[in-house]
Amino acid sequence: MCGRYTLTVDAAVLAELFDLDPLTDLAPRYNIAPTQTAPIVRSTRGEREWAEARWGLIPPWSKDASIGSRLINARAETAAEKPSFRVAFASRRCLVPADGFYEWVKTPGGKQPHHIRFADRRPFAFAGLWEAWNDPEGDTVESYTILTTTPNALVAPLHTRMPVVLEPGRYDDWLQPAPLSRALTDELLVPYPGDGLEAVPVSTAVNSATAVLGPECLEPVGVQGTLDF
């Protein structure tokens, strides 16, 4: 599962990763939560573009937007067949920029958040799907979900799922307009091997999705460093 993530890097760094012009209004985000709006990268007529979308996919047939809060993640193994995701999986795939994500582990003192990221703090992209939904007033709401897979060795002690992290060299494969072959899907939607990643215990301030949104969410607690399991 991926229920919170971060995007704190400079706009120029992010633009270089996705080969796009920098976002002009990008502010550091330390606690991106479901139903909030965040940037995604998608392909339109063969060209990459930025878009702002709501986290939590709202299928076009939905009666209201509330379903989105339950569709923040899609299982990579079944998304192509699920009614909520199959149309988007076939033709509306996207990249979700991030530079870390949170997972929690139960401890005697309560649930301890960990920030999973590259040790050099470089940004990356989750594999995502996006949709457009028309609300009762006729306004269009664009939304997205993050694909998840089985965890790598680093994440496994924290959770049974992890978001799909794509290598930059595979971005075009994921964004192509044509449906993906099963062979390509199996290549792309796999656990990131964990090289260069670290899981850092951080402040429980991140547990609040609305009250605490600043850098204090990433304040380390205990011992930093790459976990060795």
2 labelled catalytic = yes
Beta strands in 119-203 (DSSP E): 124-134, 140-149, 162-163, 165-166, 197-201
- The CA-atom distances, in angstroms, between 119 and each of 14, 18, 32, 175 are 17, 20, 20, 27
Q: Name the nearest CA neighbour of 29 among 81, 101, 92.
A: 101
Catalytic residue among 47, 81, 103, 142: 103
217 is catalytic: no
| Residue 131 main-chain phi, psi, to 5 deg | -145, 160
- State how far the Cα of 82 lies from the Cα of 169, in Å rounded to an integer: 28
Supply the residues annotated as catalytic: 2, 103
